[in-house]
Structure 1
């Protein structure tokens, strides 16, 4: 038990990082339509982000899951939920420290391939690097490289869910749809060719509104770690799920929503995960919990933060 949770000493504590360390902050689902768009139109996107932005801007990299395409010409597919964000939202996101946006999810394609391709272009124009998108499956599934000094991190991203109203075309633009088996193979090859690089895997997976990962996910996480993954960050369930340490590697199955308008109260708590990597390529994870009110996330103060972390730890210990 102590081995499994040794890194809890760092959870929720913002440590004193060396200037040579690399700090990557991961946030959850960012959906820029519906209630979020309405609130941004009323108060500004800067207002929605101003209580959490310092966590991202103080890190070297900020990564979120972009849970919508971006554009001005809707071409909606026939799906239950279809989102479209305003391009004007991207400048405030970048100013808030978001450097990378994951597109490997079940909403990046809500308005088809043309708008999805336009989304990647708009992100790049705003100095935000798309992850898990490409002009082909091979391109989409190629890891994005993060570097600082001698520290190198390869970030893989994939959506492993079944996708509504979407046709998989290997040689057309799309989001990475690597299976866990595909990822295991890709990680092994990458690790063999880049033995000094760390590997972080971002997955859009799991069951919505469930606070525990499935037994299948836990087996998949072990397979990824065995292949060479150094950390795993998940999203899609819209809630914070239990986490664990697998052979010294942190696995956060779901970090919850970041910017969303879901009315279910259990979706209003989320976590930012800060991974601090030192020159010896050791990862120190930190959890920064927040609570959202009317689409705006607020960093939890004590004692709410301590209570949240203790409850999350207890649930995680039951895995």
Structure 2
């Protein structure tokens, strides 16, 4: 892991012109600092806190709140189901995880806007109402990544509307154009970086600058959330490996992935846990997905005197629907043979066991961090 005091002012002076100012929003047990402005770099130098304790973060896969125009208002479409069941309905079976953690991060895959916007030309365009931020809040989702292939389905206007809706709801976000930092009550900071598709050329340079900024600002851990891979492929592809390699070079401490719409496995790379794909979660983009299996993962980050020492991952197998043969947009936790089937997919994907499954604790693995 990159030393946090390494050329902090010099790095900040380089990157501050590329990144906007800190804004603050509340979370379940701390606050979010979203870098979006024009501060003096000296104001962004935070003292490194000698916090000892554990931070628990829940990660969820692809969440599309809404869907395509032709299906979202159908009898079994996302909008109609929410009208009938309320905003608490989608995450109702997952709050045992999300309400008891320090923070929850999900992939928001689609646009939130109440305007009649022009679609970009592509196969699928996902959109939902700005009121659907209440779904995230009811599910105790404090932060979302916008680094994915559907956040610009309605061009820049839709992307800006999504950000505005999240800001109004007090939900933090990060993407390929912005970072987020969570700070607990003791001053410990964890930074989040988003990657979509690949890390090459200018994308790689921008990512490296943002990673350097987070380390220089005093983050005790930096987490990369990647949206990449081949759809419905059981194994990670070259783009995912490219992202992982470059993220490791930039000192990331944990990598969580999604996009393939199916479960993929995990592995340890130089003391860094890498989870390649969680699959879907609350996914309004498809009324009958090809694969209903998915994952939630809780990462427990243990710090001693401000240094990250160990990461424990708890894998919780999911079905994206509580009803067989159709998507009811309300994922459920799996147990027994169903849970074991999902975990077997993980092991077959990367050749690494996800640990022994316990219905209360999940399948558990721990990684000692290399400094």
What TM bracket, shorter-length normalisation? 0.7 to 0.9
Aligned to 2:336: 302
**Residue pair 1:67, 1:108 contacting (<8 A) in 2 also:** yes
User: Does the alignment pair 1:260 with 2:283?
Assistant: yes
- Of 167, 187, 191, which residue of structure 2 is paired with 1:124? 167
Deviations 1:202-257 (A, max 9, x none): 11211111111113422431231132010111121111112211012111111111
Choose from 169, 181, 184 the match for 1:145: 181
Structure whose residues are more often strand by fraction? 2
- Other-structure match for 2:62: 29
Structure-1 separation of matches of 2:212 and 2:283: 35
Distance 1:315 1:265 in 2: 20
Q: State the match for 1:108 in structure 2.
A: 151
Residues 1:243 and 2:266 aligned together:
yes
Aligned to 1:60: 102
Q: Is the 8 A contact 1:221 1:232 kept in 2?
A: yes
Count the aligned residue pairs.
279
The structure with the largest alpha-carbon Rg is 2
Q: Distance in 1 between matches of 2:352 and 2:58?
A: 26
TM-score (norm 1): 0.79
1:42 — aligned with what? 84
Deviations 1:69-113 (A, max 9, x none): 111112132222111112222113112110011112111111222
1:160 aligns with 2:184: no
> Does structure 1 retain, via aligned residues, the 8 Å contact 2:265–2:345?
no
More helix by share: 1
**Does the 8 Å contact 2:190/2:219 carry over to 1?**
no
Looking at structure 1, the residues matched to 341 and 87 of structure 2 have their Cα atoms a distance apart, in angstroms, of 29
Aligned twin of 2:319: 291
Distance in 2, Cα, partners of 1:272 & 1:249: 18
Contact kept? 2:236, 2:349, Cα under 8 Å: no
Cα distance per residue 1:162-189 (max 9 Å; x no partner): 9xxxxxxxxxxxxxx9624542454245
Q: Give the aligned partner of residue 137 of structure 2.
A: 94
Question: What TM-score does the superposition give when structure 2 sets the normalisation length?
Answer: 0.69
In 1, the alpha carbon distance for the partners of 2:205 and 2:244 equals 11
Q: Secondary structure at the match of 1:46?
A: coil
Distance 1:32 1:186, change over 3 A: closer
Cα distance change on mapping 1:63 and 1:178 into 2, 3 Å: farther
TM-aligned CA deviation for residue 190 of structure 1: 4.0
Provide the residue aligned with 1:76 in structure 2.
Answer: 118
Residues in 1 aligned to 2:183 and 2:148: alpha-carbon distance in whole angstroms: 25
Q: Is the 8 A contact 2:297 2:313 kept in 1?
A: yes
Mapped to 1, the partners of 2:242 and 2:149 lie a distance apart of 22
Unaligned runs of 5+ in 2: 1-51, 67-71, 322-326, 354-371
Query: Using the alignment, how far apart are the partners of 1:199 and 1:301 within structure 2?
Result: 32
| Matching residue of 1:15 | none
Q: Aligned partners of 1:61, 1:253: CA distance in 2, in Å?
A: 20
CA contact (8 A) 2:255 2:274 kept: yes
- Decide whether the 8 Å contact of 2:87 with 2:138 is kept in 1: no
Q: CA deviation at 1:124?
A: 1.5
2:16 matched to which residue of 1?
A: none
Shift of the 151–30 alpha-carbon distance from structure 1 to 2, 3 Å rule, reads same
CA contact (8 A) 2:56 2:103 kept: yes
In the aligned structure 2, how far is the partner of 1:152 from the partner of 1:123?
21
Root-mean-square deviation over aligned CA pairs: 2.5
- What residue number does 2:4 align with? none
- State the distance in 1 between where 2:333 and 2:122 align: 34
